[in-house]
Structure 1
Amino acid sequence: MPFIDIRTTRTVTAAKSEALKSRIGGIIDIIPEKSEAVLMIDINDKCNLFFGGKRQECCYMAVNLHHEAPMENKKEMIEKLFVIVASELEIEQDNIFITISEFPYWGAGGHYI
């Protein structure tokens, strides 16, 4: 199950949340064995984020994956995430930051998987 935590200074309407969810869901299968059916996304808007010592429009995304993914797949996904977030939230790509964390241990549905 991938979990993507999105934090932005922007206000994100219900329609924008749905668009982000759908567009990200449409690319998550870039990562082998991942699909929208098991994707969880948390969108936190109006965050009090500072970048470069000052408040400015920006976005931070933390992508959490169960198991390690090939580097070329992670690179492709990150590049597409930049485009999606810049487009949907109208934030310059220079002010978007993305990290990927990979975990060998994960629990879901009451079980260790």
Structure 2
Amino acid sequence: MPFVIAKVNVPVSRDQEIELKSRLGKAIEAIPGLNENYLLFGIEDNCRLHLRGKDTWKIAYIEASLFGRPDHAGFGIFTAEMTAAFQDVLGISPENIYIKFDDIKTWSTNGQFIESAYR
């Protein structure tokens, strides 16, 4: 299950949150075998973020954690579509959108420990 959490320094309305969730749900399809049904998404708005010594820029810091994807297939398209979503919905310039990917080797859900075959 991919988990995407975003920290932005702008307010986010419920409608904007739903639009981002939907756009990321579509974007995750770039990664083989995934769709919105697997996506866990969260957003923290009005964060105090500073970039280039200023807090006046609109900024997004996004972490995308994905389990068992060491080949990173589809990550380039996923990145481009996430960037476009935050630009279109929140007006954040691509140069101020930073995305960190975490390769998850172990995961737990529903009381079950899951380990990736990839090491």
Q: TM-score range, shorter-chain basis?
A: over 0.9
Aligned counterparts of 2:50 and 2:106: Cα–Cα separation in 1: 32
The aligned amino acid for 1:104 is K
Question: 1:33 deviation in Å?
Answer: 2.4
1:49 aligns with 2:49: yes
1:93 aligns with 2:94: yes
Written as runs of structure 1 = structure 2, the 5 A alignment for 1:1-113 is 1-55=1-55, 56-113=57-114
Asked whether the 8 Å contact 2:2–2:38 carries over to 1, the reply is yes
In percent, how many aligned pairs have the same letter?
Answer: 27
Aligned residues: 113
Question: 1:71 deviation in Å?
Answer: 3.5
TM-score normalized by the length of structure 1: 0.94
Aligned counterparts of 2:95 and 2:52: Cα–Cα separation in 1: 12
Aligned counterparts of 1:27 and 1:54: Cα–Cα separation in 2: 30
RMSD (Å), alpha carbons: 1.2
Question: 1:70 deviation in Å?
Answer: 3.2
Between stretches 92-101 and 64-73, larger displacement belongs to: 64-73
Deviation string, structure 1 residues 51-92 (Cα, Å, up to 9, x no partner): 112112100110000112534511111011111110001011
Aligned counterparts of 1:45 and 1:98: Cα–Cα separation in 2: 16
Deviation string, structure 1 residues 26-72 (Cα, Å, up to 9, x no partner): 12121122221121011100000011121121001100001125345
Aligned counterparts of 2:104 and 2:38: Cα–Cα separation in 1: 16
Task: Pick closer, same or farther for the CA change 1:25–1:74 going to 2, 3 Å.
Answer: same
Asked whether the 8 Å contact 2:23–2:85 carries over to 1, the reply is yes
